Amino acid sequence: MSWFRLNSVGVAWVCLASTFVSTAYAGEPKVLTIGIDGLRRDAFVAAKTPHMDSLSANGTLCLETRVTSDDVTDSDTVSGPGWTTFLTGVWADRHGVLDNSFNGRDAKAAPHGFTLAKQVKPNLKTASYLCWTPLSTHVTTDADIDVVVTPGKNATASTVWKAADQSLAWSAIPVLQNDDMDWTFIYFGSTDETGHSYGFHPSVPPYVAAIENVDRMVGELIAAVKQRKTYADEDWLVLISTDHGGEGTGHGGGRENPNVFTAPMIVSGDAAMKSEGIERAEGTAPPATVDLVTVALTHLQIPINPKWQLAGSADGWLETTPTTAEAKSE
């Protein structure tokens, strides 16, 4: 990335976006969600990320995306609540996760987005790839393909977590190339572990290098998608964000620190909004990672059931077209 703005203006959250507007898209909707643990926004901007830059150019990148809610103050800025919000589309007041213990996890009130999707489309195919075991235990329990890589404990983060991430990417590539997955989630943990070891900051070479390495793997995943024999008949949406940023070598207790509670979020694809910023009505919530599940479900043409009590919105992330869930439910 080369530049960014971090101040909100009125109710318009300033984002980087392509100015090209595409309305001519149709095809079978597919979603690829990529989670990058501990991705601090200014370090992301400082890093050389050509693959994520390319995705941003075909959609919207918002660098002011919230990972916390001002209305839900009990949860800490750590991975447990961060990823549970990311994967369920609700805040901790509903999913119950306040820290990394996952005590209080209420899967009935706040199921994974895969579970919600299958309530409407039981034949929907889903896949999950991750290297942080608690997510598989407590959240991603409804994946048709569930790959968990456990990093070793006797080496540095820059080696074992990097290797785990690469293993996940290699596992996902043939599935993305050949299988009929509708919604795929891939988690990368090496950025967070590197930040804990060396520091979460754009001036820290190992941390920036970890971001750049993840970008390389993102490129591998996107290349796999584009190699699909059915790619021309499909409508892919790529979602990328994180659970938190960081400060020093940590991120806990960061609810008042914008380097921790704000994050990059990319929504990319022909269906993604391509505007100069995300504008929402006065009094509505700002862009947040809680939007991710709603955005994915909307793209998959799954009407949002009010009983789910999702806290997110697709407003500002997706073009308004007859293929959206709202139109399907009319």
Q: What is the pLDDT of residues 68-97, one digit of tens each?
A: 999 998 889 999 999 999 999 999 999 999
Question: Which pLDDT belongs to residue 155?
Answer: 64
Report residue 313 as tokens.
């919105």
Cβ neighbours of residue 270 closer than 8 Å, sequence gap 6 or more: 22, 24, 25, 58, 235
Give the pLDDT confidence score for residue 159 in this predicted structure.
Answer: 84
- pTM value is 0.91
DSSP code for 318: B
Pairing of strands 126-130, 277-279: unpaired
- What is the reported pLDDT for 48? 99
CA dihedral (66, 273, 114, 140) positive or negative:
negative
Q: Which residue numbers in the chain have pLDDT < 70?
A: 1-25, 154-157, 276-277, 320-330
Whether the CB-CB separation of 11 and 279 falls below 8 Å is answered with: yes
Strand-strand pairing, 234-241 and 12-17: unpaired
Residue 179: exposed, middle, or buried by beta-carbon count in 10 A (0-12, 13-18, 19+)? Answer: middle
User: What percentage of the chain has pLDDT greater than the value 90?
Assistant: 78
SS3 of residue 218 by DSSP: helix
φ, ψ dihedrals at 66, nearest 5°: -85, 140
Alpha carbon distance 123, 102 (integer Å): 29
The pLDDT value given to residue 157: 67
Domain map (residue ranges) of the chain: 12-328
Domain spanning 12-328, CATH class: alpha beta
Mean pLDDT of the chain: 89
Alpha helices in 4-144 (DSSP H): 41-46, 50-57, 79-88, 92-95, 113-120, 133-138
Amino acid, res. 67: V
The per-residue pLDDT for range 182-240, each reduced to its tens digit, is 999 999 999 999 999 999 999 999 999 999 999 999 999 999 999 999 999 999 999 99
207, with CB counted inside 10 A (0-12, 13-18, 19+), is buried
